[in-house]
Amino acid sequence: MSDASEALRSELLAVALEAARRAGELLRDGRPDDLGVAATKTSSVDVVTEMDIAAEKLITAHLAEHRPDDGVLGEEGAATEGSSGVRWIVDPLDGTVNYLYGLPSWAVSVAAEYRGETLVGVVEAPLRRETYRAVLGRGAYCDGPSETGRKLAVRPSPPLERALIGTGFGYLAERRARQARIAGRLIPGFRDIRRGGSAAIDLCDVAGGRLDGYYERGLNPWDFAAGDLIAREAGALTGGRPGQPLSGELTVAASPGVFGPLQELLEELGAWHD
């Protein structure tokens, strides 16, 4: 357990919540209504990229104002070392294809590490009207349109053959093809597989009991930093290959009874390599 004070944890949570909320509003309110109609045009993709960058700039400016001595690692290139021992890990728009097409499963992900350990995670999903948050040692919660501070807990673990498992596919065609082959081999042994399009939301859905487990290859720290903490604080187990932490090689999160069998099956099928 980190030696960070309770005051620091509370401060980091407040900063993360406000940064994620502001970025979510920017992305929601700034998205052109006809963006999905023109989704095949290069100009549409450019608009998404511009919104992504604008959201990261908004977040980093907020962090610089309130926590000027902290480091930052962002998907869109933000990278500062800092001197406080705190580092922010930011994905300003997780689920860009969903955003492009007007699907609701996209999110802003903001996490704060202290001396290498994640202390705070916030995932803001504006079109789902949900804010997921967790502080190390304090549990995980979801604030939604009809509730405030609903405590999250993973579902009771079913046998693997009755588990609903989430996954994601990479952007590279060869990797995506292999991931599809592995998913095809997995489906008969599960209740079913879901592909949501946002790693941050998938991890939160494990935390909230909407999925029994989730796995994906090829993620970056900004994809899973906040969602990993939220899932763990809700009672999930997370990791990569057996005995290893979650990483770009493989990310696995599941309720305790599903985690081990799922991880072993993914290892057997070679889901950790292309």
Backbone angles phi, psi at 209, to 5 degrees: 80, 15
Query: What number of residues does the chain have?
Result: 274
Q: What is the pLDDT of residues 158-168, one digit of tens each?
A: 999 999 999 99
207: amino acid identity, one letter:
A
Check residue 76 and give its pLDDT. Answer: 82
Q: Which tokens sit at 97?
A: 């294809």
User: Domain limits of the chain?
Assistant: 6-151, 160-269
| pLDDT confidence bin for 35, thresholds 50/70/90 | confident
Distance CA 72, CA 89 (A): 6
* Residue whose C-alpha is closest to residue 232's, from 124, 143, 117, 96: 117
90-99, 147-156, 188-197, 227-236: least confidently modelled range:
147-156
Please report, for residues 38, 67, 69, the alpha-carbon distance to residue 83 in angstroms, rounded to integers and kept in the order given: 45, 11, 5
Whether 246 has a pLDDT exceeding 70, the answer reads: yes
Q: What pLDDT score was predicted for residue 77?
A: 83
End-to-end CA distance of the chain: 35
**pLDDT, tens only, 47-99:** 788 999 999 999 999 999 999 999 999 988 878 899 999 999 999 999 999 99
* Dist CA 233 CA 245 (whole Å): 16
Handedness of CA 218, 224, 227, 233 (dihedral sign): positive
pLDDT at 155 over 70: yes
Q: What does the pLDDT read at residue 37?
A: 54
Q: Quick check: 166 and 160 in contact, CB under 8 A?
A: no
Once rounded to an integer, what is the mean pLDDT over residues 37-46?
Answer: 60
CATH 3.40.190.80 fits 160-269, yes or no: yes
For residue 227, give both structure tokens.
């969602």
Q: 6-151 in CATH: which number?
A: 3.30.540.10
